Amino acid sequence: MDSATPRVSVAIGRDGAVVGEVKLVGGRRHAEQVAPAIRYLCDELDVDLGHLTAIAVGLGPGLFTGLRVGVTTAKVMAQALRVPVVGIPSLDLLAYPVRHTSRLVVAVLDARRREVFHARYRTVQGGVQRVSDYEVGSPGDVVAELDSGTEEVLLVGDGALAYPEAFSRLERVEHAGPAFTAPSAAALIELATARVEREEFEAHWDVHPLYLRRSDAEIEWERRAS
């Protein structure tokens, strides 16, 4: 499951491939959508929760409420079912589906407050390799960095589409399109399956959301206190 963006994605996979997936865009209704989506998939696929061998979850960065819902749901399920958890950053899940490109891949998610979460990737055999930190900054900062380079760039994520006035002036840069605006649950299943096979997973208590800044509530509390 991934709930780092306004889109909630839940999927069930077998042998690294998706057998069923639900995608819902409902603003900030993550808490109302994740559990029913899981139940719907299990009912439609005739899958008992006890048959699951691992839980995979997108860790963000992303919307605070959405991340808490997704990661908490994953941890509770893993604890109840006594199975491991695989957590993968959501920006990685954006970049992986375009791993066959020869261009520099830049994953950009809308972080609200006129900011974006972003990271850069280069394609390698069988996947992508991150070549920058996970960062948060203004669209202008990202555009300035890309504008100073000479490489062909492929953008993925809703961040570039949310701030067209900034990204549209770039040369040598193309967006992968509407199908690549949110983290991929199919990529999560494929990457998580490989990690489970290598026994690269975590206990539920070691899984935490990837936050790159404070929440709106924390900022507002500090503003009022001062």
Task: Output the domain CATH number for residue 173.
Answer: 3.30.420.40
Same domain, 85 and 189: yes
| Structure confidence at residue 169 (pLDDT) | 84
pLDDT per position as a tens digit, 187-196: 999 999 999 9
pLDDT at 221 over 80: no
Total count of domains within the chain: 2
In this structure, is residue 1 part of a structural domain? Answer: no
25's enclosing H/E stretch is strand 17-25
| Structure confidence at residue 178 (pLDDT) | 92
**Residue predicted with more confidence, 129 or 30:** 129
In this structure, is residue 69 part of a structural domain? Answer: yes
67-to-46, 70, 95, 218 alpha-carbon distances in Å: 28, 5, 19, 16
Report the pLDDT averaged over residues 145-159.
94
In this structure, is residue 149 part of a structural domain? Answer: yes
| Structure confidence at residue 218 (pLDDT) | 52
β strands within 70-190, DSSP E = 85-88, 104-112, 115-124, 127-130, 135-137, 153-156, 173-175
Same domain, 154 and 200: no
CB 37 within 8 A of CB 30: no
| Structure confidence at residue 220 (pLDDT) | 54
Same domain, 97 and 160: yes
Same domain, 129 and 158: yes
Same domain, 62 and 99: no
CA-angle at 185, arms to 126 and 53, nearest 5°: 90
Mean pLDDT rounded to a whole number for the chain? 92
Residue 64: is it exposed, middle or buried by C-beta count within 10 angstroms (0-12/13-18/19+)? buried
Same domain, 77 and 107: no
In this structure, is residue 116 part of a structural domain? Answer: yes
The pTM (predicted TM-score) of the whole model is 0.91
Report the pLDDT averaged over residues 57-84.
95
In this structure, is residue 2 part of a structural domain? Answer: no
Quote the DSSP letter at residue 96.
G
Same domain, 95 and 176: yes
Q: What is residue 97's three-state secondary structure?
A: helix
- Segments forming the whole domain that contains residue 167: 91-180
C-alpha 186: how far from its chain's center?
11
pLDDT per position as a tens digit, 162-180: 999 999 888 899 999 999 9
Q: What percentage of residues in the chain have a pLDDT greater than 90?
A: 82
Same domain, 137 and 196: no
Same domain, 192 and 164: no
Same domain, 129 and 155: yes
Report d(CA 93, CA 90) in Å as an integer.
Answer: 5
Same domain, 143 and 34: no
| Structure confidence at residue 35 (pLDDT) | 94
CB 196 within 8 A of CB 119: no
Same domain, 176 and 186: no
| Structure confidence at residue 13 (pLDDT) | 97
In this structure, is residue 50 part of a structural domain? Answer: yes
In this structure, is residue 193 part of a structural domain? Answer: yes
Categorize the per-residue pLDDT at 207 as very low, low, confident or very high, splitting at 50, 70 and 90: very high
Report the pLDDT averaged over residues 128-143.
96
pLDDT at 115 over 90: yes
